[in-house]
Structure formats: C-alpha cells, structure tokens
A and B are shown apart, each in its own frame.
Chain A
Amino acid sequence: KQEVTQIPAALSVPEGENLVLNCSFTDSAIYNLQWFRQDPGKGLTSLLLIQSSQREQTSGRLNASLDKSSGRSTLYIAASQPGDSATYLCAVRYGGGYNKLIFGAGTRLAVHP
C-alpha cells in the first residue's frame, strides 16, 4: 500500500530558528512530490514541486529535498517567522501521466515571537 508519513505531527519553535519537516513514503517509484501549506480554514497553497529526477528545489527561505532511494523528503525553513505558522502537507504522485496525489497527515507548525 502506498502511504505517506509526516514527522513530527506538530512542532513549536521560537522565531528565527531554522527547522526541518520530514516526509517519508513507502513506494519509492514516485513521479514527483509536492509540499503544500494550509492555513486554518483555508485551502492548500503549493510551495514546492520536486520531480523524481531532481534532488532539491528552493523558493525563498524554503528548500525541499528528495531522496527517492530512501523514500524521504525534507522541507527546510530558514529563519522561521510567525507568519510561517500553518500546517505543512507532503503529497506524492505515482506513475507518469497519472495525476493522483497521496497526502501525508501534515505537520502543524507554530512559530512564536
């Protein structure tokens, strides 16, 4: 069964810290992996998309890495800010041309001043 696991489930850090969110997947034959942010009561915002042939993607203070062989991805957030507080979801897509995303349960991040 294809499953996606995110650790930790929740994280609370002081402002300014660098932090890492983890995502693991059971089937390494992925097509790509996408990180989303979800604010309370809102929809999902795509942060980064990593193709299976890539090792990492960067956008501003965010860096996502992918290690297919070990079935892992990490989302690195540099110099965290209170505005980064949200739930971060990892989603994996299997099979070229097949557009189904399998989501992890998310990591709920709180950055306090």
Chain B
Amino acid sequence: DAGVIQSPRHEVTEMGQEVTLRCKPISGHDYLFWYRQTMMRGLELLIYFNNNVPIDDSGMPEDRFSAKMPNASFSTLKIQPSEPRDSAVYFCASSFGLSSYEQYFGPGTRLTVT
C-alpha cells in the first residue's frame, strides 16, 4: 500500500482565500484523523472520523474550519477564509478498527497564509 496520501504538500495562499487540503487514507482503514502541528502548540487533533462519520470535532479551532469524508477513500479539510495564524503543517492519519489502534500518518501539507 502507498500509505496515507496528502495533497498538496505545500500551499501558499493569501489571507482571506479558501484553502482545501486533501487526504486519502490507507485502504481498509476505518478511522481518519486530521491534525495540526505548530511550533507553539505542537500536534493537535482537529477532528476524526469513523466509517466516514465525524466522531469528535472538538479540536476544530473555529467555524472557518470544516472537514468532510464523502467516502472511505477521501477526506478534505477546508479553511474559509484563511488567516495567517492558520499557517502550520496539517497531517492526516488513518487506522484500522478496534483491535489495532496504531495510527499511520501522511507526509503532511505545509500551509503558509500571507
């Protein structure tokens, strides 16, 4: 398997623009997670899905952030409108079932909002 795939790897945008980050989890995994990593706050869980259903979105910073998982092989994280403080590395991770909680991370998307 190719592992968790994220796109784009780098995104530079201007304040106020809409940003969409994409993730393809490992085939067969039923959990998908979105994390954000910054120097100040480290790694934070934003939201996670189980079988395409959002389970916990308490980490989503504000209404400007939204996430969807229309099917088992694709998820998006959208920021609208973007702000400079959203600059961070966004990671997607996936895992399989209750018998194994090991999470597999994608390479991340480095977002810079100017």
Contacts and interface: CB of A to CB of B under 8 A. Distances in A.
B60 to A, nearest CB: 13
Contacts of B12: none
Given A43-B91, A43-B107, A43-B108, A100 B102 contact: no
B31 A99 contact: yes
B106 A34 contact: no
A32 B104 CA distance: 15
B56 interface: yes
B101 A103 contact: no
Contacts, number: 50
A19 interface: no
A45 interface: yes
A104 B108 CA distance: 18
A103 B103 CA distance: 13
Contacts of B50: 99
B94 to A, nearest CB: 11
Interface residues of A, number: 23
Interface stretch (B41-49, B68-76, B77-85): B41-49
B86 to A, nearest CB: 19
A103 B43 contact: yes
Contact of B45 (A45, A46, A101): A101
Interface residues of B, number: 24
Contacts of B34: none
A100 B98 contact: no
Contacts of B55: 99
A62 interface: no
Contacts of A46: 102-105
A64 interface: no
Contacts of A105: 42
Contacts of A36: 105
A96 B103 CA distance: 15
